[in-house]
Amino acid sequence: MVIITLITFITILLATIVMILASILSKKTIIDREKSSPYECGFDPKGSARLPFSLRFFLIAVIFLIFDVEITLLLPLASIIQITNIYSWMVTGTIFLAILLFGLLYEWYQGALDWSN
């Protein structure tokens, strides 16, 4: 037990030291106006280099990604039906689908799926 605690402590200490060193070494000290401006073949840009981005589109894309990953986690349930107890299989599937459904209903209730706003 003492060895596991010691190894855990050494691992956390080593990870902390590496993160602190990385944050110290990665800081830029020289901020140059020319380097931070957009580059268009040697000419000054005619318009804004930043395009407007719809935050609503980003939110719907993130929600789609979350549900897509959860559906990917749901697919193996079909392949384990023969090697598991049918009761535990049904309970697991029902709970997982209920979590998905409640998440969808919550997003719908919050108005995150309304594209028109």
pLDDT given for residue 44 in this prediction: 63
Rounded to whole angstroms, what are the CA distances from 72 to 17, 36, 65, 69, 97?
Answer: 37, 41, 11, 5, 12
Supply the DSSP symbol for 85: -
pLDDT tens string, the chain, 117 residues long: the values are 889 999 999 999 999 999 999 888 887 666 666 666 666 566 666 666 667 777 778 888 888 888 888 888 888 888 888 898 999 989 988 998 898 889 889 988 988 777 765
pLDDT given for residue 39 in this prediction: 64
Phi-psi region of 38 (alpha: psi -120 to 50; beta: other; left: phi over 0): beta
pLDDT given for residue 46 in this prediction: 66
Please, how many CA atoms are within 13 Å of residue 115, restricted to the half-sphere of its CB?
Answer: 4
- The DSSP element (H or E) to which 62 belongs, if any, is helix 55-74
Contact by Cβ (8 Å): 116, 54: no
pLDDT given for residue 8 in this prediction: 94
Reduced to 3 states (helix: H, G, I; strand: E, B; else coil), residue 43 is strand
Q: How long a stretch of residues is the chain?
A: 117
Q: Could you give the CA distance from residue 38 to residue 9 in angstroms, rounded to a whole number?
A: 46
pLDDT given for residue 100 in this prediction: 86
Rounded to whole angstroms, what are the CA distances from 113 to 66, 68, 98?
Answer: 14, 15, 19
